[in-house]
Amino acid sequence: MEQITIKTPSKTYPVYLGEKVIPKLGEVLQSLDPAPKNVLIITDHHVGELYLNDIQSELDEKVSYETFQIEPGDSQKSFDNYYACQSFALEIGLDRSSVILALGGGMIGDIAGFVAGTYMRGIRFIQIPTTILAHDSAVGGKTGINHPEGKNMIGVFHQPEAVIYSTDFLSTLPENEIRSGFAEVIKHALIADPSFYDYLNNNIKSLTDLKGEHLLNCLTRGIEIKNEVVSQDEREKGIRAFLNFGHTLGHAIEGERQYKGITHGEAVARGMVFALSLNKKTVQLGNDLKSWLNDLGFAPIPKNLSVPSLINRMKKDKKAAGGTINMVLLEQIGQPTITPYQANDLEKKLTQFLEEN
């Protein structure tokens, strides 16, 4: 088992990572001060069917628990479900010493973390990620929900008490979710670590390579890079924005498609190719990335996207200011920068990019 310590100004907490690490859960709950008497597990129906029993059997007799399940899919990261979770927590009498367990991918981690961060002004929670993508989302304390006007627009920073990441849970992930998570691994490599990027490029030629030692290396190094960033900038006053590499266009594509038909990571991956196309020094890297993504079977950019609508969404991005869209670009691998664009300039570049891609 790997143990990585996440250090942020507001909290230091462990990530337990490896095969069958779920037995750590009982230990972690007992080590909390005060130890919780009751626990609320929040999961989606799909993950619940697969792994709820494993979690419940760790809790038996140690604490009393209730479960709240929501439908899978990013469109469920909504006000309605947030409200329903809060109502359920009140009904079952969750109190300030209770703990929420977020069992699932980034969707569940984000909404359950937001419920925990706001219920009675904030209670404790533990992330139990079940997707590759969640190596990113379970660490760093960003929680929240979507608004029809934009993704992740409502939320709070709220760090978990621990992250318990059992890699055996990843064996049931469908292929498009493996790709989605791998996109965030590629992102971490591109913004921070040229040798990690070479390692990925040389070793992950197809999705079947993403298992065993390689999978563990991807998750470990991805989490370490995320930790390096959030430990310096927990609340995104500066360098944490680099983690949004690929996300400005990625989020806009997801929004235009109502979070259906293309996964988060697939949209971000195409967003990274676009960002690389904006700097002459990284155009070739972008072309190479594009053919690697195609080899790995990543979904192409959806057809018939409206560029003005995409740009409008990019203007609403939390990093945008006035008519200026701040794009994360790379000078080279490991050297991200923030470059402001006037919306109409970026619209021209995006039109050309979409014609060519």
- Rounded Cα gap, residues 242 and 225, in angstroms: 11
- Is residue 130 involved in binding ligand NAD (CB under 6 A)? yes
Do strands 150-157 and 2-7 pair parallel, antiparallel, or not at all (unpaired)? Answer: unpaired
Half-sphere exposure in the Cβ direction for 140 (13 Å, CA): 27
- Is residue 221 involved in binding ligand NAD (CB under 6 A)? no
Between 151 and 290, name the residue whose CB sits nearer to ligand NAD: 151
- Is residue 246 involved in binding ligand NAD (CB under 6 A)? no
- Is residue 107 involved in binding ligand NAD (CB under 6 A)? yes
Considering only the stretches 25-33, 105-113, 297-305, 343-351, report the one whose residues sit in contact with ligand NAD under the rule CB under 6 A: 105-113
- Is residue 44 involved in binding ligand NAD (CB under 6 A)? yes
Q: Which of 15, 22, 29, 74 binds ligand NAD (CB under 6 A)?
A: 74
When computed from its CA atoms, the radius of gyration of the chain, rounded to whole angstroms, is 20
Q: Which of 21, 81, 110, 276 binds ligand NAD (CB under 6 A)?
A: 110
Ramachandran quadrant class, 212 (left: phi over 0; alpha: psi -120 to 50; beta: rest): left
Residue list 261-290, contact with ligand NAD (CB under 6 A): 264
Give the Å distances, CA to CA, from 31 to 27, 34, 75, 94, 161.
6, 8, 35, 19, 10
Q: Which of 58, 161, 177, 193 binds ligand NAD (CB under 6 A)?
A: 177
Q: Which of 4, 6, 16, 77 binds ligand NAD (CB under 6 A)?
A: 77
Answer for the pair 185, 222: CB distance below 8 angstroms, yes or no: yes
Element (H, E) at 336: strand 335-342
Answer for the pair 286, 273: CB distance below 8 angstroms, yes or no: yes
Number of residues binding to ligand NAD, judged by CB under 6 A: 31
Site residues for ligand NAD per CB under 6 A: 44, 46-47, 50, 72-74, 77, 104-108, 110, 130-131, 133-134, 136-137, 140, 142, 151-152, 169-170, 172-173, 177, 180, 264
